[in-house]
Amino acid sequence: MKVLINAGPTRESIDPVRFITNHSTGKMGYALAAAAVSAGHEVTLVSGPVALTPPAGLKKLIRIVTAAEMAEAMKQAFPAADLTILCAAVADYRPKFYSSSKLKKQDGGMMLELERTEDIALTLGQLKKPGQLLAGFAAETDDVEQNARKKLTEKKFDWIAANRVGIPGSGFGSDTNIVKVYAADGSMIDLGSGLKTELADRLIRIFAAGK
């Protein structure tokens, strides 16, 4: 099976020294890529800026920085994928204006105007053809199941893996996670807590079984 996975954060530059990003380290996405390779799949990994060594055996590694670069890379690779897993934490907003010079401190505050980035999950859901499988992630702080199921439907996912962030042992930066998988048919699989590497193996088996 040809598997496409994205991982890590994006960076949206304000000026030459500052940018907007998030706490994603790419550990879950890289674990998924490694698990997919180990399972014998042909894996393309689209990675944001992370401090991780890419898994051995990848078919292709595409490095990006911005949300726009991530969107372009995913749209280019998506048509050839049998299974796509959206694990990256892509910025929802970017600065509307980039300053080519470092912005200097001033008395008082500073207003930073932001604009939306492309919703990659929504775009790929609209591009999905019969036979293609699409899985996503939902990192939530509240109403995890409600928000995950809403995203599952809106993005036309086949599955969504949901976890609560902001609690010990789950979410960004941790080697462990606590995951529930919601499927488009209404079913749910509670994977519980475990190392991200272990959870990745189980997730790949679940997602790949859809074809």
Catalytic residues: 22
**Do the beta carbons of residue 83 and residue 37 sit within 8 Å?**
no
* Beta-carbon count within 10 A of 106 CB: 7
| Tokens encoding 97 | 């204006």
E-only strand ranges, the chain: 2-7, 12-15, 18-20, 42-47, 60-63, 83-86, 93-95, 114-116, 133-140, 159-164, 176-183, 188-195
- Helix, strand or coil, per DSSP, at residue 31: helix
Q: Which of 4, 49, 58 is nearest to 26 (CA)?
A: 49
* Beta-carbon count within 10 A of 22 CB: 16
Cα–Cα distance between 41 and 80 in angstroms, integer? 13
Q: What is the CA radius of gyration of the chain?
A: 17
Tell me the helix, strand and coil percentages in the chain, rounded to 5: 25, 30, 40
